[in-house]
Amino acid sequence: MFIQDCGHNDFGENNCQHSADVGVRCLPNTLEVRLVDGNSSSSGRVEVNYDNQGWGTICDDHWGLHDADVVCRMSGHQSAQSAPRGSFFGGGIGVIWFDDFICTGHEESLLDCSHSGVKVHDCNHGEDASAVCSDFAVCRNFSWDDGQFRVSNQQFHRYTEGTRVDITCDNGYHPTLSVSYAICAANGQWTPHTPACSVSCPTLRSPNHGRLSTTDTDPGVSVRVVCDDGYTFDETTGDPSTVCRLTGSWSSTLGGCKEG
């Protein structure tokens, strides 16, 4: 993406003088992380070395599990078990590098998260952030709308590897791909799909001189046209297959069969 891809007035159209010229200060993208003074190598006070300028700490304002997830992966673990605040593993010394981290939990580095800026904080070392890491993968959250989801085999109250979700959908809704369960796999992905309840698609009409591969109308199902003996698919009438979208509509219009 380039700056001209952002919203702006037409080129040359402005009401400014050069006293209003803007500037940019680019930040280095180098950040090391370590866990200090914990009970094991997987826990401790979070310390970072920004741009090779020395080790310091992070303030715990807004600090949470998603932020600790990023730290844990940067330090060679899978996810965070907890994200202690208030110098849980003791206060550090030296510079406080960052404050107000807000991560989604899936960033490659803390520098990819929102934060207050380098050395911008209102903290002391009594507010140093910490992390307790786990080697369990964690799957993403999912929508609990339109059904009941029974969760079992969780670790640390998170959707860790091996977590199972059994799905019972409300009237008018069906589990995606007609599979009424999902399991968090070792790669941090739900299998066979993310738990969800979706609207069924309208019933399809069988073509003349042919049939449908399935009459299912559940979300995610694929339906194709199967022509009778002596007939072939007519490409001028539509598509040979279609998929039921999660929104309850078919992805394309099915065609028919013709003699020959």
**Per-residue pLDDT tens digits for 174-189:** 887 778 999 999 988 9
Extract the tokens encoding 212.
């449908």
Residue ranges covered by each domain of the chain:
31-134, 147-199, 210-259
23 pLDDT tier (thresholds 50, 70, 90): confident
Q: What is the mean pLDDT of residues 159-186?
A: 89
Q: Which of 7-21, 42-56, 78-92, 122-136 has the lowest mean pLDDT?
A: 7-21
Q: For residues 105 and 222, give the distance between their C-alpha atoms in angstroms, rounded to a whole number.
A: 33
Extract the tokens encoding 144.
């609990």
1 pLDDT tier (thresholds 50, 70, 90): low
Q: What is the mean pLDDT of residues 21-44?
A: 86
Is pLDDT at 118 greater than 80 in this prediction? yes
Domains 147-199 and 210-259 agree in fold: yes
The dihedrals phi and psi of 112, each to the nearest 5 degrees, come to -85, -10
Is pLDDT at 88 greater than 90 in this prediction? yes
Is pLDDT at 154 greater than 90 in this prediction? no
Whether pTM > 0.95 for this model: the answer is: no
28 pLDDT tier (thresholds 50, 70, 90): low
The answer to whether residues 50 and 56 touch, using CB atoms and an 8 Å cutoff, is yes
pLDDT of the residue at 13: 83
pLDDT of the residue at 86: 95
pLDDT of the residue at 247: 81
Q: Which residues face 138 on adjacent strands? A: 160
Q: What is the mean pLDDT of residues 100-116?
A: 92
Is pLDDT at 170 greater than 70 in this prediction? yes
| Max Cα distance, the chain (Å) | 83
The answer to whether residues 167 and 195 touch, using CB atoms and an 8 Å cutoff, is yes
Strand ranges for the chain from DSSP E: 31-37, 43-50, 55-58, 79-82, 96-98, 130-134, 147-152, 164-169, 173-175, 181-184, 190-191, 197-199, 210-212, 222-227, 231-234, 241-243, 256-259
What CATH number does domain 31-134 carry, 3.40.50.970, 3.10.250.10, 3.60.21.10, 3.20.20.210?
A: 3.10.250.10
What is the CATH architecture assignment of 147-199? Ribbon (2.10)
Is pLDDT at 203 greater than 70 in this prediction? yes
Q: What is the mean pLDDT of residues 143-171?
A: 91
Q: What class is the 210-259 domain? A: mainly beta
CA 165 to chain centre: 18
